Amino acid sequence: MLKKYPSVLLIYTGGTIGMIENPETGALENFNFDQLLRHVPELKRFNYRISSYQFDPPIDSSDMEPSFWAKLVKIINYNYDNFDGFVILHGTDTMAYTASALSFMLENLSKPVILTGSQLPIGTLRTDGKENLITSIEIAAAKDNHGNAMVPEVCIFFENHLMRGNRTTKINAENFNAFRSYNYPPLARVGIHIKYEPHLIRPTDKLKPLIPHYLFDTNVVILTLFPGIQERVVESLLKVEGLKAVVLKTFGSGNAPQKPWFLNLLKDATDRGIIIVNITQCSSGAVEMERYETGIHLLESGVISGYDSTPECAITKLMFLLGHGLTNKEIRIKMNSCIVGELTKQRR
Ligand code: ASP
């Protein structure tokens, strides 16, 4: 019988991992994927079938758009039966947005989709890219004793930590340890061994077919509160034509100014059908609107809780739900529910 080698599809979108320094300007520019692979001869030592697909041209992830997320989903869907797992090389700047978006777009995912990148280009001597790439490939191919994928989720692997993608945030523009998942523990830690945490990994039913989704509605905005925020600024933002949803980044456990003009503007917006989701500006912890009077006032104004969602997850989830033509009520219910492990509802 023919031996079946583990198989991984590498998708290169761009980002520092595949960049090279322009000798004249000193700026980092994208270079060709084959050149990138030449810098990782270790890949040949894997007993895996590794195929690749590259974005042409590769993009800096600051140029990431929902249309590129749709392209990624198309590539994964098209190749789904032919590979054990997928590794997406991506710029770090918006990696957490892409990971969150893909987690909603790939319904019934039963194979690993691992996003990774690096802080230093793969061609540089001290690069973190090699380690991130090699370990991501190993994780994408890993199976348990029953032959099922160890981590059938969209994840970010960076600097020895495998994190659930829609729980992850970029927190450092300098250190190799650039990502954190503050509100959910890592799914695996990497040292001498890769230590998976099966009880933290979402169970999946591999008999259910993958259902790819592609649509987004970008009529949304993130509004960060600060002491001194002006009425006319909030008013003009909430009255932007076509606006459908707002992620409101509040203080602490979901608190906001109690000024009547502020609450009236929120109430007016929710009455007009705009969905306002409350998440905290704190990196860790959750919104509890029932805890303080200020939170209660937000609830009375029609604002809903985003619990412990990251901003990246809250905004992509809203765009995803709005894109699928759900009613206002359905979106409010889904924003308050955990669909793919993206939030924790506290037990009372
Ligand atoms: N600007 C780059 C990007 O996100 C940074 C990186 O890859 O780390 O594409």
Side-chain-facing half-sphere of 340: CA atoms under 13 Å: 26
**CA of 258 relative to ligand 1 center, distance in Å:** 39
* Protein residue with its CA nearest to atom 3 in ligand 1: 91
Report pLDDT for 128: 92
**CA of 175 relative to ligand 1 center, distance in Å:** 13
| Best mutation site among 12, 17, 36, 62 for ligand 1 pocket (most ligand atoms within 8 Å of CB) | 62
Mean pLDDT of 52-72: 95
Lowest mean pLDDT among 22-26, 158-162, 170-174, 185-189: 22-26
Q: Where in the chain is the domain with CATH 3.40.50.40?
A: 220-335
Residue 165 reports pLDDT greater than 60: yes
User: From the alpha carbon of 60, which atom of ligand 1 is closest?
Assistant: 9
How does the average pLDDT of the chain come out, rounded? 93
Report pLDDT for 348: 47
User: From the alpha carbon of 61, which atom of ligand 1 is closest?
Assistant: 9
**CA of 145 relative to ligand 1 center, distance in Å:** 37
User: From the alpha carbon of 95, which atom of ligand 1 is closest?
Assistant: 4
Residue 2 reports pLDDT greater than 60: no
* Protein residue with its CA nearest to atom 7 in ligand 1: 91
Pocket-forming residues, ligand 1, beta carbon under 6 Å: 14-16, 60-62, 91-93, 117, 119
Q: Say how far apart CA 280 and CA 56 lie, in whole Å.
A: 38
Q: Which of 13, 16, 94, 280 is flagged as catalytic?
A: 16
Residue 223 reports pLDDT greater than 80: yes
Q: Does domain 7-212 have CATH number 3.30.230.10?
A: no
Residue 344 reports pLDDT greater than 90: yes
CB under 8 Å, gap of 24 or more: what pairs does 24-29 form?
Answer: 28/121
Confidence of residue 62 (pLDDT cuts 50, 70, 90): very high
**CA of 64 relative to ligand 1 center, distance in Å:** 11
User: From the alpha carbon of 178, which atom of ligand 1 is closest?
Assistant: 8
| Best mutation site among 17, 30, 55, 61 for ligand 1 pocket (most ligand atoms within 8 Å of CB) | 61
Report pLDDT for 285: 93
**CA of 95 relative to ligand 1 center, distance in Å:** 9
Q: Where in the chain is the domain with CATH 3.40.50.1170?
A: 7-212
**Which pTM does this prediction carry?**
0.95
**Does the annotation count 16 as an active-site position?**
yes
* Protein residue with its CA nearest to atom 8 in ligand 1: 92
**CA of 87 relative to ligand 1 center, distance in Å:** 17
Residue 125 reports pLDDT greater than 90: no
Question: CATH number of 220-335: 3.40.50.620, 3.90.1310.10, 3.40.50.40, 3.40.50.2020?
Answer: 3.40.50.40
The string of pLDDT tens digits covering residues 243-283 is 999 999 999 999 999 999 999 999 999 999 999 999 999 99
